[in-house]
A and B are shown apart, each in its own frame.
Chain A
Amino acid sequence: MPTLVSHPDEVKVLSRRFGQGAADIEKYIELDGYKAVQQALAQGPEKMPGWIIDVMKASGLRGRGGAGFPTGLKWSFVPKQSEKPKYVLVNGDESEPGTCKDHMLFREDPHGVIEGTMIAGLAIGSKLGFIYLRGEYRYLLKIVEKAVADAYAKGFLGKNIFGSGVDFDIITQTGAGAYEVGEESALMESLEGKRGVPRIKPPFPAVVGLYGGPTVINNAETIASAPPILLMGGEAYAKLGSERNGGTRLFGISGHVERPGIYELPMGYNLKRAIYEVAGGIKDGKKLKAVVPGGSSCPVLLPEEIDIGLDFDQMGKAGTMLGSGGIVVLDETVSIVEFALRVMSFYQHESCGWCIPCREGTDWLKKTLTRVHAGGGVKKDVDGIQYLAENMLGRTFCPLGDAAAMPTLGFIKKFRKEFEDYIEGHKAGTPILTVEQLVGAH
């Protein structure tokens, strides 16, 4: 079972109930559960939506799925009047390699996600929320389903919640294995019973989303941040983090560290300290080679680049992304050629095939990297990989194409010499195989 870890530098806002059995509704209530939603309802029907959105805006909370879009602003885009029903959609299709924070969140604090969903619903005037979990998370779906049923039994969900006259329902949904469905519009397609291919934007989900209705879609961690934000106030939450990056975040540190785990750290926390202090440093006293800072789609950082704050802006300035908060640490023994191939094999497998630059791009990048890795590379392959990846950027409906291209460009930019040396070093005596021989039919 996933193990809980702790470090004195942690600021436990989202994780404060972790390890305390808060999947049980009574325990959740005892630990300030369902207070925030009642506080919102106490504002009265007229004032409430604006009040919630103002607090969320003041909190500086930015989307924890990876894009970092300000949550309060996103909620404010939903039109007040709408002929079609409005929906709240919780994205629990956590699939970005290196990311397992929502796994812990659903296991330890499912009611936090439910209460956050209700708050988002109240903010935009929606009566129905969906919590979508990836198919692999069946045991977590059971936990969430039980939590939802318990909330209904208490009268917290359904008709006239907390005697307010407002109705709110939640439906839980399972996926069936698809990284692409973590993209917001593909998730809506999946929830409508279709292949999870992305939709062109605009229109954005806030205007035309699920079933064509205005929809707020947020990552599960973003949604679960709403209740503590309402309770402590937007400004107080904002102050926990760094400039324009409010609050705390669940960072998952994995790979070659002594104490991998989910740690809740303030936004802007130093990455180097997170690796060396919080996660106990590099495993077995080895040397650090590289860090993937926010899930596999984020360009890699070199050891000399990690003295930097973990927030969306500082990571952007460093040419990478904060992404999903999944920090993957690579020690000196890792072959970047092999690592780059593994990353690309993933994106090639997960590309939904809708947009040609992504479908063909990931396939040819995988083939080329496979050949290089097998020892059949030629010097111009390095430029070829770069050229191909550069031409995928920004040319697809959804960010999967970029997610495959960006880390690849990072590997080539920062480890070009390793690629060239690898190709040079494997020349002698290596038979040149065709790509079909290397990759096989798929």
Chain B
Amino acid sequence: MSEIANTIFSPELAARFDHLVTIYPLRRSALVPMLLYAQDEIGYVSDAVITEIAERIGILELDVRNVLSYYSMLRTKPAGKYNVQVCTNISCMLRGGYDILNHCKSKLGIGHKETTKDGVFSLEEVECIGACCWAPAMQVNYDFHDNLTTAKVDEILETYRAGQGKDVK
């Protein structure tokens, strides 16, 4: 039984949150991880997510929104099932990061922070993801793909479209 009646989260995530708020010296330390884990399950940080997380931690919804707006991975609108994040920061840029980004744009027919009509893919140009020595690189949700070429990107996108892509959560 979750500590919150009528929780919007799956029983597993609710149980995880019940535990998470207890492990820190300060309950509020669970806030950033909870927002991210909630987003992983719900798809985005919805108003209902904000309400429940505020209640679980015992802070105002305003406090949650204040923190939420700071972190670039957290979003308040749905993204595609597979969020393609192409790095164009310096190391990737030098090895064709922008070609990869432009290829994704034309292949998917969408721009930065847009989602395909079927909801399968969304695209983001992101800052350094920590794969500089294996550039150019991108992440699809949490999975890293590196040493990219446009041909390799096509393969990767096809794999995800076919529902066979890896999806770490």
Which A residues are closer than 8 A to B by beta carbons? 1-3, 85, 94-100, 102-103, 128, 134-139, 142, 171, 173-179, 190-196, 211, 252-256, 260-262, 292, 296, 326, 328-330, 334, 339, 342-343, 346, 349-350, 352
Q: A95 to B91: give the CA distance in the assembly, Å.
A: 13
- B36: nearest residue on chain A (CB-CB)? A176
Q: Please indicate the chain A residues that have their CB under 8 angstroms from the CB of B127 in the complex.
A: 95, 97, 179, 346, 349-350
Q: Report the minimal beta-carbon distance from A177 to chain B, rounded to whole angstroms.
A: 3
> Which interface residue of B25, B59, B91, B144 has the most chain A CB atoms within 10 A?
B91
The 10 A-B residue pairs with the shortest CB-CB distance, nearest first, are A177-B73, A193-B28, A193-B31, A177-B72, A176-B71, A138-B142, A254-B91, A254-B132, A97-B128, A195-B70
When each residue 128-155 of chain B gets 1 if its CB lies under 8 Å from chain A and 0 otherwise, what string results?
1111111100010011101100000000
26 pairs across A/B with beta carbons < 8 Å?
A98-B128, A99-B128, A99-B130, A103-B130, A135-B71, A138-B169, A139-B143, A171-B24, A191-B29, A193-B29, A193-B30, A193-B31, A194-B67, A253-B133, A254-B91, A254-B94, A255-B90, A255-B91, A256-B95, A260-B133, A326-B91, A328-B91, A328-B94, A329-B94, A330-B94, A339-B93
The one of B29, B32, B130 in contact with A102, judged by C-beta atoms closer than 8 angstroms, is B130
Task: Please name the residue on chain B nearest to A169 by beta carbon.
Answer: B23
> Judging by beta carbons under 8 Å apart, are B70 and A178 in contact?
yes
Give complex CA distance A177, B70 in Å.
Answer: 9
Interface Cβ pair total, 8 Å cutoff? 155
What chain A residues lie within 8 Å of B162 (beta carbons)? none
Docked-complex contact B94 and A255, CB < 8 angstroms: yes
Among A142, A196, A326, contact of B132 (Cβ-Cβ < 8 Å): A326
Task: Give the residue name and chain of the B residue nearest to A180 (CB).
Answer: B70
Interface pair A139/B90, CB less than 8 Å apart: no
Which residues does chain A contribute within 8 Å of B74, judged by CB atoms? Answer: 176-177
Check B88–A342 contact: CB distance below 8 A: yes
**Which single residue of chain B is at the shortest CB-CB distance from A142?**
B168
B45 nearest CB neighbor, chain A only: A176
Q: Shortest CB–CB separation between residue A344 and chain B, in angstroms? A: 11
A97 touches B28 (CB 8 A): no
Q: Report the minimum CB–CB distance from B143 to chain A (whole Å).
A: 7
Q: How near does chain B come to A298, taking the closest CB pair, in angstroms?
A: 11
- In the complex, what residue of chain B is closest to A2 when comparing beta carbons? B134
In the complex, A255→B136 CA distance in Å?
A: 9
In the bound complex, residues from chain B placing their C-beta under 8 Å from that of A292 are 90
Closest A residue to B64 by CB, please name it.
Answer: A193
Residue tally, chain B, CB below 8 Å to A = 45
Chain A residue with minimal CB distance to B169?
A138
Q: Are B26 and A136 in contact (CB under 8 A)?
A: no
* Chain B residues within an 8 Å CB radius of A102: 130
Report yes or no: B88 in contact with A176, Cβ–Cβ below 8 A.
Answer: no
Interface pair A139/B168, CB less than 8 Å apart: yes
B89 contacts the other chain (CB 8 A): yes
Contact yes or no, A260 B130, CB < 8 A: no
- Report the bound CA distance from A252 to B32 in whole Å: 29
A270 to B88, CA, bound (A): 29
In the complex, what residues of B have CB within 8 A of residue A349's CB? 72, 127
Whether B132 lies near A174 (C-beta < 8 A) is no
* List of B residues within 8 angstroms of A211 by Cβ: 25-26
**Contact call B134/A177, Cβ cutoff below 8 A:** no
Whole-angstrom distance from the CB of B27 to the nearest CB of chain A? 8
- State how many angstroms separate the Cβ of B166 from the closest Cβ of chain A: 9
Decide if B66 is an interface residue (CB 8 Å cutoff). yes
Chain B nearest CB: distance from A154 CB in Å?
A: 20
Question: Complex formed: what's the CA distance from A350 to B88 in Å?
Answer: 14
Verify A296–B25 contact, CB threshold 8 A.
Answer: no
- A273 vs B28: C-alpha distance in the bound complex, in angstroms? 49
Of A1, A190, A192, A346, the contact of B146 (CB 8 Å cutoff): A1
